[in-house]
Structure 1
């Protein structure tokens, strides 16, 4: 419980800094979502067992090493920590180029979630990422804190971000609606597409 509370505090501090950096008068506008007693935040542990090294003449491919498939996190913010085994990769563009993230067990990694992307009309982008299993015999271990709002919280852009030049990208929805869509679709699907205006 102490670790969860520490992660909640860290996530809240980061979100308050984001609010301050965006010149939002009430800088706690993001953090109060995960500080709410009804917050749907969760802590998860992942273990990615190593896979056998493919031989030089093997027809095995990188897809055989997928430990956790391509996706974006639906929550507001993810705080990730892992052991010293690599495997995390991010895709920054739609070009399909995957960039490995060097492991560092002394650091925390922050991943923007879809909910924060909606709240800021894309000022912060939820990066697509995946995890590949290691081939050198060591397993990857990671622990993630997913900072999420209450199920009945409405996810909609902050009014100060909406303008005729920057209209809403998605219709308002509750976190419960989005969570249901996220877990009833395929992992790699862009679930935000389900909430575009007119759909």
Structure 2
């Protein structure tokens, strides 16, 4: 994932410490603003989201992506629903399948995918709890940024996420084994899971399941890997917020 922002230079070795923001410390707002301005990417700890909730959602997500492709494509659609390989209408091709939903699951615009599962109620409940928790955490982060910038009112950005009619989306990605990759012959080494891109939104929230692969692009053109962390959340400054930070 490419990150556009006023990023700091890093050693040519490729090592780049990801800024860590402690949500339990109100004074972290200053480090948070600096991370946004200098790096465009940061990790959040002590975020208050239940590890048990995350585990349940991950289990249900794995169950969905384990379904036969013929069943998953029953809930394919645009913009919401199941998708495979092609990401959007611009053809950002990658070796990935995904499930895209409106963050407001009661909006009526989401797929009817739970009907395909053994326990649709469990999946939907986990999704609802997860989206509520992540939206709250995101609002807290955005309000800390606003505090750090000295902007009033405090909900200048967070209201765009907390609003009932928010256009926030929830995306579940799955990267299945790729038959084009052969470790012995190094064949298919350039296969990409999710293509290089920037995010047009205000901010993006990412979570990994301890699988490596995420990279960010620095101003010198180098790509550095982001070590996975199952217990934390990563935030990527989107193009819209970047405009505000550098204006």
Which range moves more in the overlay, 23-32 or 45-54? Answer: 45-54
Q: Does 1:97 align with 2:222?
A: yes
Q: Which residue is 1:33 aligned to?
A: 160
Do the aligned partners of residues 28 and 47 (structure 1) sit closer, same or farther apart at CA in structure 2, a change above 3 Å counting? same
- 1:117-128 → structure 2 map (5 Å cutoff): 117-120=242-245, 122=246
With the length of structure 1 as denominator, give the TM-score of the two structures: 0.55
Secondary structure, aligned partner of 1:12: helix
How many Å separate the matches in 1 of 2:230 and 2:142? 23
Unaligned stretches of 5+ in structure 2? 1-127
Q: Deviations over 1:72-111 (max 9, x none)?
A: 1111111111111100000021x33110011111111111
How many Å separate the matches in 1 of 2:241 and 2:183? 39
Do the aligned partners of residues 100 and 13 (structure 1) sit closer, same or farther apart at CA in structure 2, a change above 3 Å counting? same
RMSD: 1.7
How many Å separate the matches in 2 of 1:62 and 1:32? 43
Q: Does 1:54 align with 2:187?
A: no
- 1:12-91 → structure 2 map (5 Å cutoff): 12-51=139-178, 52-55=181-184, 58=186, 60=187, 62-64=189-191, 66-91=192-217
Unaligned stretches of 5+ in structure 1? 123-165, 167-199
Q: Which is strand-richer, 1 or 2? A: 1
Q: Which residue is 1:2 aligned to?
A: 129
Q: Which residue is 2:237 aligned to?
A: 112
Residue 15 of structure 1: CA displacement? Answer: 0.2
Structure 1 runs (4+) deviating above 4 angstroms are none
Q: Which is helix-richer, 1 or 2? A: 2
